[in-house]
Amino acid sequence: MNIEIKQADLSNIDTLIEWRMEVLHEVFSIPNEQNTDDLRNANFNYYNTVLNNGRHISCFALSNNKIVGCGDMCLYSEMPSPDNPTGQCAYLMNIYTRAEFRKQGIGGKIVSWLIKKAKNKGITKIYLETSENGRSMYEKLGFLPMVDYMILKNTNK
């Protein structure tokens, strides 16, 4: 299968939102009948801001000019440290291939394309969260499990 990775921009915002919502429905098992207007609007506002200020890169994977997958990368700064002297970081997210196109290397091509974009910007600290299904793909690309990280439990009450 011939796959082409193309960068998305604000001219693609409607398509970006459709794909983002598809990802969220699958990853978070959101029922189709659930109202997601607020989530859709929040993602629209996010893309509208970060694609304008260069803090985010989005892409689509195309086969025969048909979108079959997508990926995103958030770019941000943290305090410089010995393991990241520039303080520049990239967080991969929204890596997704439609079910009928999975297990054909598309996700790997998306991630490799995003990694190249990060490295071209001098970013060497690149990380992500993964599902069990995606773990082997990321390991093949050189990602290692992270230890000593914690997350604050959502305490909205």
Do residues 92 and 110 touch, judged by C-beta distance below 8 A?
no
Whether the full predicted model's pTM is greater than 0.95, yes or no, is no
pLDDT tens-digit series, residues 14-47: 999 999 999 999 999 999 999 999 999 999 999 9
How many of the other CB atoms lie within 10 Å of CB of 96? Answer: 24
pLDDT tens-digit series, residues 100-153: 999 999 999 999 999 999 999 999 999 999 989 899 999 999 999 999 888 898
CATH of 4-140, one of 3.40.630.30, 3.40.710.10, 3.90.190.20, 3.40.50.150: 3.40.630.30
Q: Taking the domains of the chain in order of start, what are their residue ranges? A: 4-140
Nearest CA to 106 out of 73, 68, 149, 144 is that of 68
Pairing of strands 66-77, 88-97: antiparallel
Which DSSP category does 154 fall into? P
CA dist., res. 3 & res. 1, Å (int) = 6
CA dist., res. 145 & res. 101, Å (int) = 26
What are residue 66's DSSP bridge partners? 63
Do residues 143 and 134 touch, judged by C-beta distance below 8 A?
no
Do residues 2 and 63 touch, judged by C-beta distance below 8 A?
yes
Least confident of 47-51, 68-72, 131-135: 131-135
Q: Which residues contact 116 (CB under 8 A, 6 or more apart)?
A: none
